[in-house]
Structure 1
Amino acid sequence: MDHKAFRQLLKRYLDNSCTDDERNVIDQWYELLDNETIDLNDREMGEVESRLWNKLQSASKEKAIMVPLKRRAFPWKYAAAACLLGLVLTSGILWFRSNAKTPAAGGTLVAAKVTAGFMEQANTGTTPKDVQLEDGSTVTMYPGSKLAFPKHFAAAKREVYLEGEAFFKVSKNPNRPFFVYNNNIVTQVLGTSFDIRGKNGQVEVAVKTGRVAVYENKEQLKLNEVQQKSNGVIITPNQKVTYYQEERHFVTSIVDQPVPVPKETKKEEAHFVYNETPLYKVLNDLEDTYELEIVLENDKIRNCQFTGDLTGQNLFNKLEGICLIFNATYEIKGTKILLKTAKECP
């Protein structure tokens, strides 16, 4: 994201026209300032804006921004956003990029590939449509979607071009990675199942099984060498990434409804029935089942005993049951779950 996109996002935040995800991003950015006071003069506010921008850039290079699912109210942030936006607008600094205008979405790519001899499938109906590719991969195309693909994949890689939304179940072949080109991003996998959806200038990729790399299309956006090195994220089962096309940034999080991840070696189905079981073992079962990391804020209660039946409940209901026993709460921090508990066992 550049300064111009940063300013636009602040304005939407003030106008209350941003999405929930964008609002969460703003909240987290201000947390980078370590909750500093807003009672500042113009010069001090300018320094705060500079520090925020520098920390944001540094954080984006190190890892994907983690966005809490449960947003707390920070009224002072509206005042801070207003001050920062005013400074940005009156500073006289103009930021431009040569590729500010987003190239046409996947439709242009699909049309170009069909003209070049690729095959095309379109779902003009009202129900999902399955398409079988030559390598055994299956694409479930949602209504209104188009897909361009070669009759025979290349020896070194498999490439398809998507306009719209689809669910992919990719056959495994480590020697021939699978690429999906959609709008300005590329999704790369070795063998997995994942979902691609788009709306309101956003593209969302959610993983069901395997690992997926999602990054900007360097040819389409003409990325320089530095941009390519810090481009994209890797997500695993029950994780998703949202790409904001206008701002050109990625936000990782947990899918809305995590499901148990199928194992290659079939195990006995977990029943989640516990009788005076240490808490850490209960959490380990959840991590193994959903392949998500659960962080215990207070390690002193890891051996506290839990008794209960969590069978048949989704992940979040299981967590609510645990929280009820331990007088705890949980928060989604990016792709991790933070369990905030009492200081002692109940």
Structure 2
Amino acid sequence: MKHFGEDTWEFIQDDHFVQWVLFPDAVNTAWWEQWMADHPERVPVLEKARTMVQTLGKTVPHKVDHRLLEEVYASLDQYLDKEVPAPVQTTARVASLRKWWWAAAAVIAGGIAMVSISRKSATKENLLADKLQSHMEQQQLVRVNTSTTDQVAWLTDGSSVILKTGATIKHDAFLTQSKREVYLKGNAFFDIAKDAERPFYVYTPKVAIRVLGTSFNVSEESGSLTVTVKTGKIAVYSMTDKQHSYIITPGHQLRFDARTAAFVADSLNSEQLAALQPAAEMPAFAFDNAPVLSIFKALESAYSIKINASEETFGKCFITTTIRNETFENKLKIICAAINASYTIREGQVFITGKPCN
């Protein structure tokens, strides 16, 4: 989930803005009042940034390592990936506190605990999720459950897929296209993150499913494919007849008989509703003074995406953090901000670059 946009960050990065919020005087107050009069459409964003700076200004600790602040602030500049407006001359107090506010904003507003950097020895690793057998196939990530128990496949947009034994999904690793598309073989339960601008599609050999944000089950048995909706609603249509779709609402299911190419609708009774698959809950990425390389391995395990980080560069980096309810890329941004690193995505993989932790 995106907690604040680039327009909000633009204000937070502006020394002139921060000085006005925390140390207002007649000159800067008059300037910003005129700015709001000239840009009424941006006032709501300004007020949001103003509240954030006021809140973070009250949480600044008394003793903060200066080098740590320099590292975190530099990494946040990389994270924002945009030019910072030329700052006006400010007091030393603002310049010093400013770095801490940005570091705090990156974690507090994201609903997580404060990230701290440490150079001490690592405690016991806390890795996440059982591994699925995964591989890249023509720029598509293929994930197969070869175990005898259900396995969770986490998607980078915040969605999850519980794969039954033998089930396979194939999809773009980072789901960056205008349509989020997953190809399914076998039985699975989907819990889809809402994104009205990018609908989610599930394709089976005979049936396609279109959703905006919901949870539903897909099962196949004896030539029949059944789609059962737990929350939200979905549209289902035959791959051979895309002009006619069927809407399924919560507590209902639709069965498709591949032999007759016919759809049969049905309602669920109370026992069937109670027996529906519960949605998977992403465990918190909770680490206490852990090697950052282990955290990257945990991300790899959860998302089946290769993360390339040099042992020589990042082998001495340790952080303490708890990250909840964030997308894959937001997790990367938070971790990279803590170690003064940046990342790039290409060919279905992540590449981490930065300076060593001394």
Q: Same fold (TM over 0.5)?
A: no
Give the alignment's TM-score, normalised by structure 2: 0.37
Q: Which of 1 and 2 has higher RCO (CA within 8 Å, sep 6+)?
A: 2
Q: Which of structures 1 and 2 has the bigger CA Rg?
A: 2
